[in-house]
Amino acid sequence: MTNQVEPKPNVLLIEDNPTDRLSIKLQLEVMGFVVFDVASALEAAEIFKIRDYSLVLIHLGHAPLESLEICRQIRAASTVPILMITKRDEVVDEELALGAGADDYVTKPIESRILTSRVTQQLKRGESQRAPRQTLLTWENLTLDLAEHLFKIGEKEILLTNSEYRFLQLLMENPQRVFSKEQVLLAVAALRDSASGSVESYATQLRAKIKRNGGPDVIDVVRSVGFRLAAIEEKSPVTHV
């Protein structure tokens, strides 16, 4: 009678820095994982579909919008633990990473003991304690369906451009947060090359479009600071259904 060897758990690592990718991969292999490492979110989206993973690590890197999006996609489809890897000088910070569906984060330069501790903590929590990321955001009479990429005011479907949709999604996923112009430009890809001042104009146009179709005043402009979802007294601004 032969003893069966337990298969090693799989890890998906998304890291665009080749030196860091090799270093993290080697540490994870020492911990007993089979590591599938890729340099981009696009590659990750392909290989995530073909096998099961016990853990996903994502570095925001040079393409933070794509990294946040793959995090949202993975969380919507799976309860797998997700660790985000960030750098202190990156515009996208830990709060945005957690808002996109990550369970925890580690900051570069990564200490081996900290990475080991965070990985172990996530695995101990168990996938049964997680729920797939909710895909329906509501605020007042607005509904944003992330799964179907639909926006409604009441029962009326309103057509938004992709940039309008992403701008509104950013605010509705983080109702208490004020985003600077730089953070909005980073999260809304089509606005990155826009002229100075265009984010304010864009916010005004989106707000007017929603009010014109029977919606509330949805965006607050905080002078000299940035943009946020408009406050509602004695209500929770966003409910995940």
**CATH fold group of domain 10-129:** Rossmann fold (3.40.50)
45-103 pLDDT per residue, tens? 889 988 889 999 999 777 777 888 889 888 888 888 999 998 766 655 667 777 788 88
CATH architecture of 136-240: Orthogonal Bundle (1.10)
Over 60: is that where the pLDDT of 198 sits?
A: yes
DSSP string computed for 152-220: EETTEE----HHHHHHHHHHHHSTT--B-HHHHHHHSGGGTTPPTTHHHHHHHHHHHHHHHTT----EE
Average pLDDT of the segment spanning 127-140: 68
* pLDDT at residue 239 in the model: 45
Buried b (16+ CB within 10 A) or exposed e, 129-153: ebeebebebbbbebbbebeeeebbb
Over 60: is that where the pLDDT of 233 sits?
A: no
Over 70: is that where the pLDDT of 130 sits?
A: no
Q: What is the pTM of this model?
A: 0.60
Grade residue 39 by pLDDT with cuts at 50, 70 and 90.
Answer: very high
Q: Which of 225, 218, 217 is nearest to 168 (CA)?
A: 218
Q: Judging by DSSP bridges, how do beta strands 55-59 and 34-38 pair with one another?
A: unpaired
* pLDDT at residue 156 in the model: 92
Domain parsing of the chain, residue ranges: 10-129, 136-240
Q: How many CA atoms lie within 13 A of 70 on its CB side?
A: 29
